[in-house]
Amino acid sequence: MNDDQLVILRIDSSMRQTGSVSRLLADEAIAQLHAGIPDAEIILRDLKAGVGHVNSAWREASLETTSSRSSEDRAILAQSDALKTEVERADIVVFAVPIYNFSIPAALKAWVDMVCRNNVDGATALSMPKPTYRKQALVILTSNHTLAGASDEFATGFLQHILAFLGCSEINIVDATGLADEKTVKLAAAHDKIKSICQHVTSQNISAAAE
Protein backbone atom coordinates (compact mmCIF):
# COMPACT_ATOMS: atom_id res chain seq x y z
CA MET A 1 0.00 0.00 0.00
CA ASN A 2 1.37 3.40 -1.02
CA ASP A 3 0.75 6.12 1.57
CA ASP A 4 0.56 8.69 -1.25
CA GLN A 5 -1.97 6.67 -3.24
CA LEU A 6 -5.38 8.27 -3.40
CA VAL A 7 -8.21 6.06 -2.11
CA ILE A 8 -11.77 6.02 -3.46
CA LEU A 9 -14.39 4.27 -1.33
CA ARG A 10 -17.66 3.24 -2.98
CA ILE A 11 -20.64 2.40 -0.77
CA ASP A 12 -23.74 0.80 -2.30
CA SER A 13 -26.89 0.71 -0.19
CA SER A 14 -29.49 -0.58 -2.66
CA MET A 15 -30.92 -3.95 -1.73
CA ARG A 16 -31.29 -4.74 -5.43
CA GLN A 17 -28.34 -6.07 -7.40
CA THR A 18 -29.97 -5.86 -10.83
CA GLY A 19 -32.18 -3.03 -12.03
CA SER A 20 -30.74 -0.61 -9.47
CA VAL A 21 -30.40 2.90 -10.87
CA SER A 22 -28.21 4.02 -7.98
CA ARG A 23 -25.74 1.21 -8.72
CA LEU A 24 -25.65 2.01 -12.44
CA LEU A 25 -24.99 5.70 -11.77
CA ALA A 26 -22.32 4.78 -9.21
CA ASP A 27 -20.69 2.55 -11.85
CA GLU A 28 -20.47 5.59 -14.10
CA ALA A 29 -19.03 7.78 -11.36
CA ILE A 30 -16.37 5.24 -10.41
CA ALA A 31 -15.42 4.73 -14.06
CA GLN A 32 -14.96 8.46 -14.57
CA LEU A 33 -13.00 8.92 -11.36
CA HIS A 34 -10.77 5.99 -12.22
CA ALA A 35 -10.19 7.37 -15.72
CA GLY A 36 -9.15 10.69 -14.23
CA ILE A 37 -7.07 9.18 -11.40
CA PRO A 38 -5.96 5.78 -12.77
CA ASP A 39 -3.55 5.09 -9.90
CA ALA A 40 -6.23 5.42 -7.23
CA GLU A 41 -7.07 2.45 -5.03
CA ILE A 42 -10.78 1.64 -5.15
CA ILE A 43 -12.50 0.03 -2.15
CA LEU A 44 -15.95 -1.49 -2.71
CA ARG A 45 -18.38 -1.79 0.19
CA ASP A 46 -21.76 -3.30 -0.69
CA LEU A 47 -24.22 -3.02 2.20
CA LYS A 48 -26.60 -5.47 0.56
CA ALA A 49 -24.40 -8.16 2.08
CA GLY A 50 -25.52 -7.01 5.53
CA VAL A 51 -24.29 -4.74 8.29
CA GLY A 52 -24.27 -5.36 12.03
CA HIS A 53 -26.52 -3.35 14.32
CA VAL A 54 -25.94 -1.70 17.66
CA ASN A 55 -26.99 -3.93 20.53
CA SER A 56 -26.15 -4.13 24.22
CA ALA A 57 -23.02 -6.26 23.80
CA TRP A 58 -21.73 -4.05 20.97
CA ARG A 59 -22.31 -0.88 22.94
CA GLU A 60 -20.57 -2.21 26.04
CA ALA A 61 -17.59 -3.32 23.94
CA SER A 62 -17.38 0.08 22.24
CA LEU A 63 -17.24 1.86 25.61
CA GLU A 64 -14.22 -0.14 26.79
CA THR A 65 -10.76 1.28 26.19
CA THR A 66 -8.74 -0.45 23.50
CA SER A 67 -6.36 -2.01 26.00
CA SER A 68 -9.13 -3.35 28.24
CA ARG A 69 -11.21 -5.06 25.54
CA SER A 70 -11.52 -8.81 25.74
CA SER A 71 -11.17 -11.09 22.73
CA GLU A 72 -14.98 -11.24 22.65
CA ASP A 73 -15.16 -7.42 22.61
CA ARG A 74 -12.70 -7.28 19.73
CA ALA A 75 -14.70 -9.84 17.78
CA ILE A 76 -17.91 -7.88 18.33
CA LEU A 77 -16.26 -4.70 17.05
CA ALA A 78 -14.38 -6.30 14.14
CA GLN A 79 -16.80 -5.17 11.45
CA SER A 80 -17.05 -1.69 12.92
CA ASP A 81 -13.24 -1.44 12.99
CA ALA A 82 -13.03 -2.50 9.34
CA LEU A 83 -15.68 0.00 8.23
CA LYS A 84 -14.09 2.83 10.23
CA THR A 85 -10.69 2.08 8.71
CA GLU A 86 -12.12 2.23 5.18
CA VAL A 87 -13.59 5.67 5.85
CA GLU A 88 -10.42 6.95 7.52
CA ARG A 89 -8.32 5.86 4.54
CA ALA A 90 -10.66 7.25 1.88
CA ASP A 91 -10.00 10.55 0.13
CA ILE A 92 -13.15 10.35 -2.00
CA VAL A 93 -16.34 8.54 -0.96
CA VAL A 94 -19.06 7.68 -3.48
CA PHE A 95 -22.45 6.85 -1.98
CA ALA A 96 -25.17 5.16 -4.05
CA VAL A 97 -28.35 5.85 -2.07
CA PRO A 98 -31.90 4.91 -3.06
CA ILE A 99 -34.58 6.56 -0.94
CA TYR A 100 -36.58 4.02 1.05
CA ASN A 101 -39.68 5.29 2.85
CA PHE A 102 -38.58 8.95 2.60
CA SER A 103 -35.08 8.36 4.00
CA ILE A 104 -31.92 6.29 3.65
CA PRO A 105 -31.97 2.45 3.60
CA ALA A 106 -31.72 0.74 6.98
CA ALA A 107 -28.40 -0.84 5.99
CA LEU A 108 -26.87 2.59 5.40
CA LYS A 109 -28.09 3.82 8.78
CA ALA A 110 -26.51 0.72 10.35
CA TRP A 111 -23.27 1.57 8.52
CA VAL A 112 -23.40 5.09 9.99
CA ASP A 113 -23.79 3.65 13.48
CA MET A 114 -20.83 1.31 12.94
CA VAL A 115 -18.61 4.13 11.63
CA CYS A 116 -19.65 6.89 14.05
CA ARG A 117 -19.03 4.50 16.92
CA ASN A 118 -18.09 7.04 19.58
CA ASN A 119 -21.15 9.15 18.90
CA VAL A 120 -23.96 6.60 18.98
CA ASP A 121 -25.76 8.50 21.75
CA GLY A 122 -24.93 11.94 20.33
CA ALA A 123 -23.08 12.95 23.50
CA THR A 124 -19.84 13.97 21.83
CA ALA A 125 -21.19 15.72 18.74
CA LEU A 126 -20.74 19.25 20.04
CA SER A 127 -17.34 18.65 21.60
CA MET A 128 -15.79 16.65 18.76
CA PRO A 129 -12.69 18.36 17.34
CA LYS A 130 -12.88 19.16 13.65
CA PRO A 131 -11.18 16.45 11.55
CA THR A 132 -7.70 17.35 10.38
CA TYR A 133 -8.17 15.40 7.16
CA ARG A 134 -10.13 16.47 4.12
CA LYS A 135 -12.46 14.20 2.22
CA GLN A 136 -14.74 14.65 -0.76
CA ALA A 137 -18.10 12.94 -1.04
CA LEU A 138 -20.30 12.25 -4.04
CA VAL A 139 -23.84 11.20 -3.08
CA ILE A 140 -26.04 9.71 -5.80
CA LEU A 141 -29.62 9.97 -4.58
CA THR A 142 -32.36 8.06 -6.42
CA SER A 143 -36.08 7.44 -6.02
CA ASN A 144 -39.22 6.76 -7.99
CA HIS A 145 -41.43 9.34 -6.30
CA THR A 146 -39.91 11.14 -3.30
CA LEU A 147 -38.18 14.32 -4.48
CA ALA A 148 -34.89 15.57 -3.05
CA GLY A 149 -35.47 18.67 -0.96
CA ALA A 150 -39.19 18.06 -0.52
CA SER A 151 -40.77 18.34 2.91
CA ASP A 152 -41.13 14.55 3.12
CA GLU A 153 -37.52 13.78 2.10
CA PHE A 154 -35.19 13.15 5.03
CA ALA A 155 -32.16 11.53 3.36
CA THR A 156 -30.32 14.61 2.09
CA GLY A 157 -30.12 16.59 5.33
CA PHE A 158 -29.09 13.56 7.35
CA LEU A 159 -26.34 12.57 4.91
CA GLN A 160 -24.97 16.11 4.69
CA HIS A 161 -24.73 16.30 8.48
CA ILE A 162 -23.14 12.86 8.88
CA LEU A 163 -20.65 13.34 6.06
CA ALA A 164 -19.54 16.69 7.44
CA PHE A 165 -19.18 14.99 10.82
CA LEU A 166 -16.96 12.35 9.17
CA GLY A 167 -14.68 15.00 7.72
CA CYS A 168 -16.09 15.53 4.24
CA SER A 169 -15.36 19.16 3.48
CA GLU A 170 -16.94 18.94 0.03
CA ILE A 171 -20.24 17.14 -0.48
CA ASN A 172 -21.66 16.87 -4.00
CA ILE A 173 -25.16 15.49 -4.50
CA VAL A 174 -26.51 14.05 -7.74
CA ASP A 175 -30.29 14.36 -7.72
CA ALA A 176 -31.83 11.44 -9.61
CA THR A 177 -35.08 11.44 -7.66
CA GLY A 178 -38.65 11.29 -8.95
CA LEU A 179 -37.77 8.88 -11.76
CA ALA A 180 -41.38 7.74 -12.09
CA ASP A 181 -41.92 10.97 -14.04
CA GLU A 182 -39.71 11.95 -17.00
CA LYS A 183 -37.13 9.29 -16.20
CA THR A 184 -35.15 9.78 -19.41
CA VAL A 185 -34.80 13.52 -18.88
CA LYS A 186 -33.84 13.17 -15.23
CA LEU A 187 -31.29 10.45 -15.90
CA ALA A 188 -29.71 12.53 -18.63
CA ALA A 189 -29.36 15.40 -16.16
CA ALA A 190 -27.86 13.00 -13.58
CA HIS A 191 -25.30 11.74 -16.12
CA ASP A 192 -24.29 15.32 -16.91
CA LYS A 193 -23.99 16.17 -13.21
CA ILE A 194 -21.85 13.10 -12.53
CA LYS A 195 -19.53 14.01 -15.39
CA SER A 196 -19.18 17.58 -14.14
CA ILE A 197 -18.56 16.55 -10.52
CA CYS A 198 -16.03 13.87 -11.44
CA GLN A 199 -14.10 16.28 -13.64
CA HIS A 200 -14.00 18.76 -10.78
CA VAL A 201 -12.96 16.16 -8.20
CA THR A 202 -10.24 14.62 -10.36
CA SER A 203 -8.80 18.00 -11.31
CA GLN A 204 -8.61 18.98 -7.64
CA ASN A 205 -6.90 15.78 -6.60
CA ILE A 206 -4.48 15.78 -9.52
CA SER A 207 -3.52 19.34 -8.66
CA ALA A 208 -3.10 18.47 -4.98
CA ALA A 209 -0.88 15.50 -5.84
CA ALA A 210 1.35 17.74 -7.93
CA GLU A 211 1.95 20.22 -5.10
Long-range contacts formed by 127-131: CB under 8 A, 24+ apart: 128/165, 131/166, 131/167
What pLDDT was estimated at residue 3?
A: 67
Q: Where are the domains of the chain?
A: 7-210
Residue 146 is classified by DSSP as: P
Residue 2 confidence (pLDDT): 61
Task: Write down the CATH number for the domain with range 7-210.
Answer: 3.40.50.360
pLDDT tens for each residue of 98-129:
999 999 999 999 999 999 887 776 666 555 55
The C-alpha atoms of residue 175 and residue 195 are separated, in whole angstroms, by 13
pTM over the 0.75 mark: yes
Q: How far apart are the first and last CA of the chain?
A: 21
pLDDT in tens, 62-97: 999 989 999 999 999 999 999 999 999 999 999 999
* Alpha helices (H) in 143-182, listed in sequence order: 155-165
Q: Which residues of 144-180 are buried (b: 16+ CB within 10 A; e: fewer)?
A: eebebeeeebebbeebeebbbbbbbebbbbbbbbbbe
Return the pLDDT at 112: 96
Query: DSSP label at 138?
Result: E
Tell whether the model's pLDDT for residue 182 goes beyond 60: yes
Count of alpha carbons within 13 angstroms of residue 8, beta-carbon side: 24
Instruction: List the single range of 33-37, 54-58, 130-134, 201-205 with lowest mean pLDDT.
Output: 130-134
Q: Which of 199, 137, 134 is nearest to 174 (CA)?
A: 137
